[in-house]
Amino acid sequence: MKLFGSVVRELRNWLTSFPLVRAAQPYALHLMFGGVGLIFLQNLLLQILPISSYDTIDLLFRQIPLFVIGYYAFFLGAWLTLISKNVKYLPYGLWAYAFYILFPFESYNLTLRPIVSAIIYLVAGYFIFRYAASSASEQNTRGLTL
């Protein structure tokens, strides 16, 4: 974990050298959980709303690209959360994204690609969870003023 802690520390030093990253840093958790919530909302609406409302969903999530905004907001928020002192919340975001990948839990969605993608996010969330609980994370975030 100490090696990963030093990688995170160097990544933090490099990324915080950009003013845009420092400006977005306070919104890391909002971006991560808001992004996964937005893309999950689209998936949920497609499941529960009748077919006649697909035009509205298409307008909101394709023509006004809310899906793309949510997708990139999640990954930006995940990277920003990794370099912040709130790294303990990153596993929950990764696990929520794995849940989104598998959401309808129906046979057409449970093919090899979504299952492998979800496993990758679950395992990454587990190792980030172990990192956040270790002393390397506490040493790494001590004195952090972001």
Does residue 146 sit within a domain?
no
Query: What share of the chain in percent tops pLDDT 70?
Result: 96
Please give the average per-residue pLDDT across 47-71, as a whole number: 90
What domain count does the chain have?
Answer: 1
Q: How many Å apart are CA 135 and CA 142, to the nearest integer?
A: 11
Report residue 54's pLDDT band, with 50, 70 and 90 as the boundaries: confident
Full residue range of the structural domain in which residue 104 is found: 2-141
Does residue 19 sit within a domain?
yes
pLDDT value of residue 136: 75
Q: Supply the pTM of this predicted model.
A: 0.89
Crossing angle of the two packed helices 2-15 and 112-133, in degrees rounded to 10? 100
Residue found by looking up tokens 């929520």 in the block: 96
Please give the average per-residue pLDDT across 80-88, as a whole number: 93
pLDDT value of residue 109: 75
Q: Which residues of 118-144 are buried (b: 16+ CB within 10 A; e: fewer)?
A: beebbebbeebbebbeeebbeebbeee
